[in-house]
């Protein structure tokens, strides 16, 4: 597994953990995982976002959108495209035209 870390605030960290087949982005707050977004690779140049989940207590704090943003950054850094099968991720893509460069609609 490979790791990429992003810090947002002192007590918030967004990481991605992945291998050649699948992975997940997650948010930790005070060293506790509070949100996760799973994905799978489809070939060498595409990832499929499968599911996004945020702990009930942390909903509405922007962690889902933060993980989508990090997925877009990850895709851009690795020359990948994203297919958002997850309803939440699809909605974020629909609302954010700046992400269209990495988006695959089908």
- pLDDT in 10s for each residue of the chain, 106 residues: 444 444 455 588 888 999 989 999 999 998 899 999 999 999 999 999 999 999 999 999 999 999 999 999 999 999 999 999 999 999 999 999 999 999 997 6
Helix (H, G, I), strand (E, B) or coil at 64: helix
pLDDT at 82: 98
pLDDT at 68: 97
pTM score, two decimals?
0.88
pLDDT at 85: 97
The CA–CA distances, whole Å, from 70 to 28, 75, 82 equal 14, 8, 12
The two beta strands, 81-84 and 46-54, are parallel
Tokens 């629909």 locate to: 94
We report the CATH number of the domain holding residue 33 as 3.40.630.30
Q: Identify which of 54, 57, 60, 48 has the alpha carbon closest to the alpha carbon of residue 84.
A: 48
The token pair at 81 is 């495209």
pLDDT at 36: 98
pLDDT at 2: 44
Say how many domains are in the chain: 1
Domain of residue 21: give its range.
2-102
């Amino acid at each position: 597994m490979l790791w990429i870390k992003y810090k947002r605030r002192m007590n918030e960290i967004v990481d991605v953990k992945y291998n050649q087949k699948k992975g997940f982005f997650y948010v930790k707050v005070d060293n506790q995982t509070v949100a996760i977004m799973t994905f799978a690779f489809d070939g060498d140049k595409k990832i499929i976002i499968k599911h996004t989940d945020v702990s009930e207590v942390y909903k509405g704090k922007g962690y889902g959108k933060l993980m989508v943003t990090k997925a877009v950054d990850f895709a851009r850094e690795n020359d990948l495209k994203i297919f958002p099968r997850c309803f939440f991720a699809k909605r974020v893509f629909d609302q954010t035209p700046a992400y269209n460069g990495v988006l695959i609609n089908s």
